[in-house]
Amino acid sequence: MAGVTVFAVLFLHAESQEEVMGLTLGAAAALLLLARFGWNALAAVSFAGHSRTGQAAVLIGVLIIAAVFYDQHFPLLMLASVLLYIVVCLGLNLQFGYAGVLNFAGAAFFGVGCYTAAVLTSHTSLPHLAVVLIGGLMAAGIGSLLILPVLRTHGHYAALVTIAFSILFRVFLEVNDTLGGPQGMKVQGMEILGWKLNDSLAFGEIEISFYANYVVLALVMAAVAFMLVRRLERSWIGLNLDAVRLDETACAAFGIDVARWKITAFTLGNFLTGLAGSVYAMMTGFVAPNSFTFGDSLILVSIVILGGLGNPWGLSVAAAIVLMLPEKLQFIQEYRLLLYAALVILILLFRPGGLMPRQVRSYLPGWKP
């Protein structure tokens, strides 16, 4: 854990392309070595076993990273974004990793959250906590318009429906003048119960970037979403979702209502995505249709696949890698879609379980038969 934290700090700190490249290769080599000696699986097991201490260590790690960069905007913005994207990917993981509902409109549902925040903060004086909640509900609600086709059509056709929606959403934003058209909209900074997240804090000489506020908020959101998804997985509901993904006929023969659980996973996943979107919009202060393309949705799906379907830890690591690498390595920017596509294909070929494959379910942490 300590090693990972130090690495993250170094990585965010690195300026030159050479440094970043070196660090990346170093990390990749270290991972390969670990994998070679089977420590990969060991790490996954130890995570599962000591989830309390593991979780605490991760929280502290993130806070340390934030503390190191307390006065710099960019690394903190990066960190908060990664945390919010983890919330989104946790939602996608509920849908795809567990229930097997492939959603290629992740970025669109994120966008629904963003635009909800933009509209509500500029036209109403609703408390921002309510705005975030409504952002989640809007995404879940618009998602439920898609649920009928998603349920009625099987397998890949359901995925096509979400692709269509994703494209439609962007076109809708671009031609809609009340939502700012292609130029997008400005969004107010967030304020929760008097806590203005866009004000930077100052303690005497030391001035802390206002993004630190968002890091704290995003960290809380990610932690809560993480706990929610973990608990769900370790329950009869998690089992139902897995069964729905694996064998619908067997489900029917044993009373598992396939539609009910697909709807539950889809709605809950979109809700999380919408929540994260509305906070993200208030953090960046600006929304535009360009940020919610089909390509962005693909990246989200690739994060979930890379991390290991159904593995919240795996996808958190994958989210960090996939989001930070192109920011740091500019030459990747242009080719990032290509790169992820290649990576996903490689992973699916050689490690279908993802970087950190999921273990069999343990219902109670630390429970032994």
Partner 1 sequence: MSTLLTCDSLSMRFGGLVALNQLSLAVSAGEILGLIGPNGSGKTTFFNVITGIYQASEGRVDYLGHDLARMRAQDIYRAGVTRTFQRSRLCLPLSIFDNLMIGNHRRLNHSLWFNLVRRSAFRAQFEEQYAQALALVRTFSQSLAERLFEAAGSVNMIDRRRIEICRALISQPTLLLLDEPSAGMTHEETRELMDDILIVREHMPGLAIIIIEHEMNVIERITERCIVLNYGQKICEGPYAQVAADRQVQEAYLGTE
Residues that bind partner 1 (CB under 8 A): 228, 231-232, 235-237, 239-240, 242-243, 246-247, 249-257, 264, 360-364, 369
- By beta-carbon proximity to partner 1, the closer residue of 184 and 238 is 238
As measured in angstroms, the least distance from the Cβ of 360 to partner 1 is 4
- By beta-carbon proximity to partner 1, the closer residue of 242 and 296 is 242
**Cα 71 from Cα 347, distance rounded (Å):** 38
Name the DSSP letter for residue 364. Answer: S
Q: Would you tell me the crossing angle of helices 258-284 and 106-123 to the nearest 10 degrees?
A: 50
As measured in angstroms, the least distance from the Cβ of 272 to partner 1 is 14
CB-based contact 233:363 (threshold 8 Å): no
As measured in angstroms, the least distance from the Cβ of 81 to partner 1 is 27
As measured in angstroms, the least distance from the Cβ of 231 to partner 1 is 5
- By beta-carbon proximity to partner 1, the closer residue of 191 and 248 is 248
**Cα 143 from Cα 263, distance rounded (Å):** 9
CB-based contact 345:300 (threshold 8 Å): no
Q: Where are any strands of DSSP class E within the chain?
A: 185-186, 191-192, 195-196, 201-203, 206-208, 286-287
**Cα 59 from Cα 52, distance rounded (Å):** 11
The residue among 292, 298, 319, 254 whose CA lies nearest residue 83 is 319
As measured in angstroms, the least distance from the Cβ of 236 to partner 1 is 5
- By beta-carbon proximity to partner 1, the closer residue of 2 and 259 is 259
- By beta-carbon proximity to partner 1, the closer residue of 174 and 247 is 247
